[in-house]
Amino acid sequence: MRNLKRALSLALASVMVMGLMVVGSGASYVDVSSENNVEAIEVLQKVGVMTGDENGKFNPDANVTRNEMAVIMSNMLDYKVSNYAGTAPFTDVPSWAEPYVAACYTHGIISGYDAKTFGGSDSVTAAQAALMMMKALGYFQYQSDFGEDWQMATIREANKIDLYKDVNATAVAPMTRNDVAQLALNTLKSYQVEADNDTINVNGNGVSVSGGSVKYYQLVSNDKMYKAIDDRTGLSMSNVSGYTKELGEDLYDGDLECKDETDDFGRPATTWSYKSSTIGTYSDSADQTWTGKVSEKDLYTAAGSAAYDNYKWTVYRNGEIVEDMDRVNGKDVLDYGKTSSERWQETGNGVLTELYVDSTEEDVVVTIIDTFVAEVTKVEDNGDDYTVTISYKSDKPSKAENEFDTDQKFSKEDIVVLTIGGTEIQSMAKAEIVEGTVSSVKDNDYVKLDGTTYNYNRAYCTTVINSAKGLVNLDDGDNFTNPDIDNEVVLYLDTYGNAVAIEGAEDSVDDYLFVTGVDSAYGDVSAKVVFADGTEEKIDIDEIDGVDAYWNTDRDNKAPAVGNIYKWNQSGSEYDLESATYANFEQILFNGDGKVERDNASVYRVTGSGESAKNTRVGTADSDTVFINTDDDKVWTGYKNVSSQEDIVGAAVKDDGVITILFMSSSSGSSAEDDDFVFISGTDPEVVNDNGDKLYQYNSAYINGEKVEGGFIVSSSSAKDDIVTKGLYQVTKRDNDDHATEVKLVVDATADKKGDYESGALEAFESYATYAKKDILSLNSGKGNLTAGSQSDFSYNNDTTFVVVELKKDNTDVDSVYVGGVSDIETDAEGLTGVFVVTVEDDGDDTPMAEVVLVIVPDEDTVIDKDDNNNGDYEVVSLAGQKIELTVDKNGEFTLKNVKVQKGGENYENLGDVTLSAKIELYNKGWDELETVEEDFTAEKSVVADNDGINFSSDLLSSGDKIRVTLTLSNKTIGDIEFFTGSMTVPEA
């Protein structure tokens, strides 16, 4: 069925102005469109006469050379070319083409320019190709057939048998593969002939005299295989009647069949099959085609008086017979008469009307094809094609299917235009989109966007296919609509450029914004706003309520009010705002007295407090209500998706009792926003001159783990002076251009000791996670909570951003910054990864949802010293001026250096025998304990390991293992002192 649908669609698309409709799957070649001779190309491919290249292309526009034409003729006539190799008389034929040229030359199909020259690299002309085809049919067997001009004789005879039908070429013009395919198919459909040489030849004294002419008679047979392509009959030279022997019937023994059919639109069509396998169904060429209004006079004129007066008429719309128009008289098809200029059958812009007149059968068929609108809901990749599932946005014919097989990939949520024949989708295309402001509109007729007129598709001006007039409304609300003037809309067009669907025709929540701040410079007004999608921007204001915005201390200001909602339009780079009073929408303001109750789907104003508090419902919420938290720009759609809220500051728009959009924040304050925190890994800024102002641009800066495009800008020297180390900074104040003017260091990422930092900042490993899995993150204390709250337990989900900072050079420098995951956290009570919760959704929750988490990963070959490396008066320390070192070689042998024991700050000289325990952990998406190795040593006074070191080993290690080693020193006097933890990698062997 796929090939059938595809063929029908190709025939449809061939007459479409835009030529963009995508047809069903089964297309032979990626470069063959409906504008090509698809029927011929597919039939010839099936029987092996013309095929494409290794890239799946047919190359329909490529010219055919004479050498290539010899190949086509040999394939078509099934010559065994190997039998003719080396017999061609021509000296200019390449070896690959020589057997084909030789075969055709031997059978008299081709000839050269002269005895030695074939000219095989020249493009074959229409006259040359036709002569080859006609010789294959049996014509031009004698020199006398050519007369004085072989080209004229060939063209004349070819036209007599319709050999050039649908071939777009002149006699001497080069032929393309597309046209040669059509010429070959026409030849296969033509009957063969034999010659009767009715000439007089008198020979005497070496002189030849000729007279009379050659006549050609049809070859006929009573074998039913000669009905396979055409069942016409004829008379042979011996006056015997029978079925004419079409060349394609003879060559393929009746296995190539051609049958007259009706396609799914009701159009006369042809179905080709080979060896009982369907190749495709292809509609006939229409006698007249319209894509605009068809008057009754137009229809009469195109059909002709004979058809109007005598033939039977049938009219189809989208494959269904129009009521009372099944094989009726011509006069019954027209309501007003053959001279009327009245519109016929709601034809018009974007409606395809085709007329077919069959003078043999005395039938007239008229087909009308409309455009329907749908949205793609699913795309299934079948390997060689796609199955597209749609949801209709326009109305649809009864029982119309919603799946379509195609070679072209569509995407979910694409808006598509399609045609339907009967119940099956025949063609599909992604709708063209134009955007603009409605400057004029005539309901159910046309719309102007920014001065450009777009006519409605005629089917959307009437109720011929839809339940109501108007464009398909892709927003919520009525199914069909007309836009309002000044609306910003998205218009969807059919393949002819006519409007069929629209977005933005009616006011939507996207038309609103909420003002959180206002500023001015030199009289100009700007505002910090939050849009309906949660986006926060600083915008310049051009007009408010139709009046120029201004700021003047000597008179009233015309500026937006903070905490209010406005409708907006963008004019260039500036914005025009309209207040609730001016734009006539109902606004509700909240000043800490707003309340949302999810269970009741209601928004309240709360008056009073405690037990005397009174809830007054100001509106209901529904599944389309949009809630925006202006503190963190989070957006929820539908009351079921937002948590209950209290103490709301903000504003809402109400329409017919329903809250359509609510901008809200908490009156109790909130945490800083995500973009207020910036991680700076390079502290030397680039100094930039901005119209005389000095700016400091930090190019190694990250927000939410993503590098800041264009750098992080600081506009004050004091803020620049505060950026002294690599770490996480919070922006506490900005200027009008959103540049930082005040910052504070929150986490010093390169600190290598625990304890208070003199600036008040936390150090890299001061906060760590004790638990990080199953959507729960627990810190060792609330110190790592950088929000306004003090919780140490948090939840996280797929939306939580884990910003990972990897250190290097003994934790004194930053190696990389990226967005990672919870698996980058090591839940180690010793704090080997620093973990800080930067922002949360609601810091009032007991277990708030973490939005941004900072994870600091130490240099894997660096030791992190412990604060608890002592036991009472005894402590394990490094030798004076040295550092405790632990290394491992490729064989798993460890060397420990520079370790001694002190008591009360003095060297403990009587240490004696000690046991060194080494707990070894192996990293495999987390730390897994491998083994604990114990070795006994005798200290030299207080020294356990000098600069030469002591050794112990593990037999369980392999090259490349990433390990963590924790060392503990023990004896009866000092007890057990854990003094070292370090990560390292076993070297490669």
* Residue range 685-698, pLDDT digits in tens: 999 988 888 999 99
Out of 52-61, 418-427, 514-523, 864-873, the most confident range is: 418-427
* Mean pLDDT across 436-454: 93
Residue 291: left (phi > 0), alpha (psi -120 to 50), or beta? alpha
The pLDDT value given to residue 338: 93
Q: How many CB atoms lie within 10 A of CB 486?
A: 10
The SS3 call for residue 166 is: coil
User: Tens of pLDDT along 618-631?
Assistant: 999 888 889 998 87
Predicted confidence (pLDDT) at residue 31 exceeds the cutoff of 80? yes
d(C-alpha 706, C-alpha 697), whole Å: 16
∠ CA 833-835-841, nearest 5°, is: 155
Calculate what percentage of the chain has a pLDDT beyond 70. Answer: 89
Contact 802, 855 (CB under 8 A): yes
Out of 57-71, 210-224, 504-518, 580-594, the most confident range is: 57-71
Q: What are phi and psi of 759, to 5 degrees?
A: -85, -5
| Domain 870-985 -> CATH class | mainly beta
Q: How many CB atoms lie within 10 A of CB 689?
A: 8
Q: The tokens of 348 are what?
A: 């018009």
| Dihedral sign computed on CA atoms, order 787, 788, 790, 791 | negative
The number of CA neighbours under 13 Å toward the Cβ of 635 is 14
Out of 223-232, 651-660, 837-846, 928-937, the most confident range is: 223-232
* Mean pLDDT across 523-530: 88
User: Where does 598-711 show beta strands of DSSP type E?
Assistant: 602-607, 614-620, 626-629, 634-637, 645-655, 658-666, 677-680, 686-690, 693-698, 701-703, 706-707
For residues 508 and 378, the model is more confident at 378
pLDDT band at 861 (very low <50, low <70, confident <90, very high): low
The pLDDT value given to residue 285: 87
Predicted confidence (pLDDT) at residue 117 exceeds the cutoff of 70? yes
Out of 22-26, 364-368, 574-578, the most confident range is: 364-368
The pLDDT value given to residue 980: 87
∠ CA 672-673-678, nearest 5°, is: 95
Residue with tokens 């025949």: 426
Comparing 161-165, 586-590, 829-833, 853-857, the range with the smallest average pLDDT is: 829-833
pLDDT band at 134 (very low <50, low <70, confident <90, very high): very high
pLDDT band at 553 (very low <50, low <70, confident <90, very high): low
Element of type H or E holding 786? none
pLDDT band at 871 (very low <50, low <70, confident <90, very high): low
Q: How many CB atoms lie within 10 A of CB 510?
A: 16
Enter the pTM of the model: 0.52
The pLDDT value given to residue 601: 84
| Dihedral sign computed on CA atoms, order 560, 562, 568, 574 | positive
Predicted confidence (pLDDT) at residue 868 exceeds the cutoff of 50? no
Residues 6 or more apart from 979 whose CB is under 8 A from it? 866, 869, 875, 876, 877, 884, 899, 967, 968, 969
Predicted confidence (pLDDT) at residue 613 exceeds the cutoff of 90? no
- In 3D space, the residue among 354, 396, 361, 356 whose CA is nearest the CA of residue 375 turns out to be 396
Q: Are strands 363-369 and 312-317 parallel, antiparallel or unpaired?
A: parallel
Rounded to the nearest integer, the mean pLDDT of the chain is: 86
d(C-alpha 152, C-alpha 135), whole Å: 15
Q: Is 180 exposed, middle or buried (0-12, 13-18, 19+ CB in 10 A)?
A: buried
- In 3D space, the residue among 821, 838, 894, 899 whose CA is nearest the CA of residue 675 turns out to be 838
* Mean pLDDT across 694-712: 93
pLDDT band at 199 (very low <50, low <70, confident <90, very high): low
Amino acid at 36: N
Predicted confidence (pLDDT) at residue 909 exceeds the cutoff of 50? yes
* Mean pLDDT across 418-436: 95
- In 3D space, the residue among 709, 702, 744, 737 whose CA is nearest the CA of residue 723 turns out to be 744
User: Tens of pLDDT along 316-361?
Assistant: 999 999 999 999 999 999 999 999 999 999 999 999 999 999 998 9
d(C-alpha 951, C-alpha 931), whole Å: 17
pLDDT band at 758 (very low <50, low <70, confident <90, very high): very low
Distances (CA, A) of 830 to 590, 771, 982: 48, 13, 11
* Mean pLDDT across 369-389: 93
Predicted confidence (pLDDT) at residue 905 exceeds the cutoff of 90? no
Element of type H or E holding 45? helix 38-47
* Mean pLDDT across 380-386: 90
pLDDT band at 556 (very low <50, low <70, confident <90, very high): low
* Mean pLDDT across 810-832: 79
The pLDDT value given to residue 172: 86
∠ CA 789-791-792, nearest 5°, is: 140
User: Tens of pLDDT along 948-983?
Assistant: 999 999 999 988 888 889 999 998 888 889 888 887
The pLDDT value given to residue 631: 78
* Mean pLDDT across 764-770: 84
The pLDDT value given to residue 702: 96
d(C-alpha 488, C-alpha 478), whole Å: 18
pLDDT band at 922 (very low <50, low <70, confident <90, very high): confident
d(C-alpha 765, C-alpha 787), whole Å: 18
* Mean pLDDT across 628-636: 81
Distance of CA 771 to the CA centre of its chain: 40
Q: Spell 67-100 as b/e; 16+ CB within 10 A means b.
A: bbbbbbbbbbbebebeebeeebebeebeeebbbb
For residues 302 and 845, the model is more confident at 302
pLDDT band at 763 (very low <50, low <70, confident <90, very high): confident
d(C-alpha 422, C-alpha 400), whole Å: 7
pLDDT band at 754 (very low <50, low <70, confident <90, very high): very low
The pLDDT value given to residue 26: 42
User: Tens of pLDDT along 16-28?
Assistant: 323 334 344 344 6
